[in-house]
């Protein structure tokens, strides 16, 4: 072989080695990107071809979020499939949703909302201001769930494809919050949808399969306007009880469970492959008083003495579903919250002194309704009241349906119950509510809140209202419930607060 030939061979070998090295490097980079998506800039570190399954208890009876009552359908679809004009963050604060911004006139009678650009539904249809106007009109005309929060709406019109103008007959300081819920969903005006089994929205997920009472399977919406869903598939699987859901978690059939009862046994708390996450809800546990004229709780002194008798702080500390003590009708994540737990500290001596003005015959027998799941808590409260020597308490443990029916008829003296909506404190300004509570000052303060023209004035008025209602002991608010998640240790991207109502699935993925 000549020197020239040897040189050419060496050159060809060098080129081969360089190409092979480059090819190997490319393959290694691609493999690394698949194995660890955060390796490459420009690759969404959360988008993976993984599946996640979530175990839940309450299944929606249908997917028709327009007409199906209850939180189950909202929990599944709101923010995942359907998007709203305004959205709520994990602290229940309002943020831009489909509307990137809004302006409110000085008299709070005109709201002008601007949509984000290039919005589309999952079927490819364009989402614009005409869809918004149509959706709001359909909600009111069809009396969809949540449409009652659009009170005072005089007109709604679009100005161009991206601007919506809402005119009110009077101020409604809760309008933006209404637009963060069902009333703010934007539907596709052009789509022919069987809403009971299908859903066409603009969110990061689409419904791929629905088995009523059993499961809902979502797929990633590849055309979503913003960050893609972290997992290619998310399934919500429904279980008849906590035990079967947690068993499925231990068996790796699901990756996350939201139990109804936060109480967990050692097989869960001691399992290193699992983690427990506690968050805050807006669900309030309270001792409701029947304030009607024929009830002993129509007397302010009896109500206040009862609050001194009940050791609310101890109950909040010992209850497994308690996140924090309460003391008033507004929870920590709601506008107008103020810590009112110090108004009625546990003081049996003071309570006994207040009750000494009444004879045992006057106080009579207290019919105490308790949900079956809270029977132990009810027994504790009953013993605290009986310990004063003034109360004869007849505890009746009933199912939820019976509790609701009897309270609606006024067939109770006292009841253990939950309230779980943002803004539901207004029930204490309505004499026709199940509490039959009347207080002129409280009603005026609540009316002032509803006339507020800005958020700050609304919050201040609601604080004043809540303090008045609590000082007058319209009921005894015990604690705010916690939301508990039990998940596989390698699961990430889960929400924390209000998961009993809102369950954003976009960031959920196994690492």
Is residue 390 domain-resident? yes
The continuous run of DSSP H or E covering 302 comes out as helix 300-309
Q: Which residues pair with 489 in a beta bridge?
A: none
In whole angstroms, what is the distance from residue 21 CA to residue 462 CA?
Answer: 69
Q: Model-level pTM? A: 0.88
Which three-class secondary structure state does DSSP give residue 249?
Answer: helix
Is residue 336 domain-resident? yes
CA distances, 389 to each of 94, 126, 396 (Å): 49, 69, 20
The continuous run of DSSP H or E covering 245 comes out as helix 242-250
Sign of torsion, CA 279 280 283 285?
positive
**Helices 300-309 & 348-355 angle (0-180, nearest 10):** 150
Contact 307, 385 (CB under 8 A): no
In whole angstroms, what is the distance from residue 247 CA to residue 59 CA?
Answer: 18
Is residue 335 domain-resident? yes
In whole angstroms, what is the distance from residue 503 CA to residue 449 CA?
Answer: 30
Q: In CATH, what number is assigned to the domain containing residue 297? A: 3.10.105.10
Q: What is the pLDDT along the chain (511 residues), one digit of tens a residue?
A: 444 444 444 445 444 444 444 444 444 444 444 443 333 333 344 556 799 999 999 999 999 999 999 999 999 999 999 999 999 999 999 999 999 999 999 999 999 999 999 999 999 999 999 999 999 999 999 999 999 999 899 999 999 999 999 999 999 999 999 999 999 999 999 999 999 999 999 999 999 999 999 999 999 999 999 999 999 999 999 999 999 999 999 999 999 999 999 999 888 999 999 999 999 999 999 999 999 999 999 999 999 999 999 999 999 999 999 999 999 999 999 999 999 999 999 999 999 999 999 987 888 999 999 999 999 999 999 999 999 999 999 999 999 999 999 999 999 999 999 999 999 999 999 999 999 999 999 999 999 999 999 999 999 999 999 999 999 999 999 999 999 999 999 999 999 999 999 999 999 999 8
Q: Which two tokens stand for residue 363?
A: 């106080």
Residue 241 sits at the vertex; the CA angle it makes with 505 and 50, to the nearest 5 degrees, is 30
306-309, long-range: CB < 8 A, 24+ apart: 306/351, 306/385, 306/473, 306/476, 307/343, 307/344, 307/473, 307/476, 308/344, 308/345, 308/346, 308/347, 308/348, 308/350, 308/351, 308/354, 309/346, 309/348, 309/351, 309/384, 309/385, 309/387, 309/388, 309/391
Is residue 58 domain-resident? no
In whole angstroms, what is the distance from residue 485 CA to residue 262 CA?
Answer: 9
Largest CA distance in the chain: 124
Is residue 75 domain-resident? no
Q: Count of alpha carbons within 13 Å of 149, Cβ hemisphere only?
A: 20
User: Cβ-count burial of 453 within 10 angstroms (0-12 exposed, 13-18 middle, 19+ buried)?
Assistant: middle
Is residue 410 domain-resident? yes
pLDDT for the residue numbered 362: 85
Q: Which of 497, 495, 511 is nearest to 80 (CA)?
A: 495
A 10 A CB-CB count for 44 gives 12
A 10 A CB-CB count for 456 gives 11
379 CB-near residues (< 8 Å, 6+ apart)? 395
Q: Which of 343, 341, 339, 345 is nearest to 308 (CA)?
A: 345
Q: What is the DSSP letter of 421?
A: S
Specify the number of domains making up the chain: 1
Domain residue limits at 293 = 281-481
pLDDT for the residue numbered 35: 41
Is residue 193 domain-resident? no
In whole angstroms, what is the distance from residue 206 CA to residue 72 CA?
Answer: 17
Is residue 46 domain-resident? no
The continuous run of DSSP H or E covering 405 comes out as helix 400-409
Q: Which of 474, 477, 429 is nearest to 299 (CA)?
A: 474
Sign of torsion, CA 137 141 145 149?
positive
Query: What is the SS3 assignment for 430-462?
Result: CCCCCCCCCCHHHHHHHHHHHCCCCHHHHHHHH
A 10 A CB-CB count for 181 gives 21
Q: Which two tokens stand for residue 153?
A: 């709406």
Pairing of strands 48-56, 256-257: parallel
Query: What is the SS3 assignment for 304-373?
Result: HHHHHHCCHHHHHHHCCCEEEECCCCCCCCCCCCCCCCCCCCCCHHHHHHHHCCCCHHHHCEEEEEEEHH
CA distances, 424 to each of 164, 331, 419 (Å): 28, 10, 7
User: Cβ-count burial of 221 within 10 angstroms (0-12 exposed, 13-18 middle, 19+ buried)?
Assistant: buried
pLDDT for the residue numbered 47: 56
């Amino acid at each position: 072989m000549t020197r020239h030939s040897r040189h050419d061979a060496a050159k060809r070998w060098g080129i081969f080695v360089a190409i092979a090295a480059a090819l190997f490097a490319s393959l290694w980079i691609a493999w690394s990107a698949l194995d660890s998506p955060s390796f490459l800039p420009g690759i969404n570190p959360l988008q993976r071809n993984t599946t996640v399954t979530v175990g839940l208890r309450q299944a929606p009876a249908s997917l028709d979020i327009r007409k199906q009552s209850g939180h189950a359908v909202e929990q599944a679809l709101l923010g995942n499939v359907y998007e709203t004009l305004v959205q709520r963050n994990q602290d229940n604060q309002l943020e831009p949703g489909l509307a990137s911004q809004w302006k409110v006139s000085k008299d709070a009678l005109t709201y002008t909302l601007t949509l984000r650009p290039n919005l589309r539904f999952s079927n490819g249809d364009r989402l614009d201001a005409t869809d918004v106007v149509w959706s709001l009109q359909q909600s009111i005309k069809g009396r969809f769930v949540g449409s009652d929060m659009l009170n005072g709406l005089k007109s709604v019109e679009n100005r161009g494809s991206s601007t919506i103008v809402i005119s009110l007959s009077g101020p409604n300081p809760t309008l933006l919050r209404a637009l963060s819920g069902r009333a703010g969903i934007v539907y596709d005006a052009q789509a022919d949808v069987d809403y009971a089994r299908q859903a066409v929205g603009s969110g990061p997920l689409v419904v791929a399969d629905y088995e009523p009472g059993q499961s809902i399977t979502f797929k990633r919406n590849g055309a979503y306007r913003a960050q893609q869903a972290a997992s290619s598939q998310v399934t919500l699987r429904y279980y008849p009880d906590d035990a079967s859901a947690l068993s499925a978690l231990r068996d790796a059939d699901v990756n996350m469970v939201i139990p109804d009862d936060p109480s967990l046994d050692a097989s869960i708390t001691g399992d290193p492959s699992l983690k427990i996450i506690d968050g805050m809800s807006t669900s309030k546990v309270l001792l409701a008083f029947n304030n009607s004229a024929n009830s002993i709780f129509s007397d302010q002194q009896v109500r206040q003495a009862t609050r001194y008798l009940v050791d609310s702080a101890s109950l909040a500390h010992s209850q497994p579903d308690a996140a924090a003590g309460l003391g008033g009708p507004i929870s920590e994540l709601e506008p107008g919250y103020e810590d009112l737990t110090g108004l009625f500290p546990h003081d049996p001596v003071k309570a006994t002194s207040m009750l000494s003005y009444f004879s045992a015959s006057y106080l009579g027998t207290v019919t105490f309704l308790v949900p079956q799941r809270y029977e132990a808590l009810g027994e504790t409260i009953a013993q605290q009241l009986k310990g004063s020597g003034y109360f004869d308490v007849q505890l009746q443990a009933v199912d939820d349906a019976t509790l609701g029916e009897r309270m609606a008829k006024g067939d109770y003296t006292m009841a253990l119950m939950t309230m779980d909506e943002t803004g539901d404190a207004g029930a204490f300004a309505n004499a026709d509510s199940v509490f039959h509570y009347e207080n002129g000052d409280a009603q005026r303060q609540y009316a002032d809140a509803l006339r507020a023209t800005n958020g700050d004035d609304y919050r201040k008025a609601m604080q004043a209202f809540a303090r008045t209602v609590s000082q007058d002991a319209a009921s005894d608010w015990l604690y705010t419930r916690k939301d508990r998640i039990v998940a596989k240790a390698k699961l990430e991207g889960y929400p924390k607060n209000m998961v009993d109502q809102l369950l954003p699935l976009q960031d959920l993925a196994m690492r």
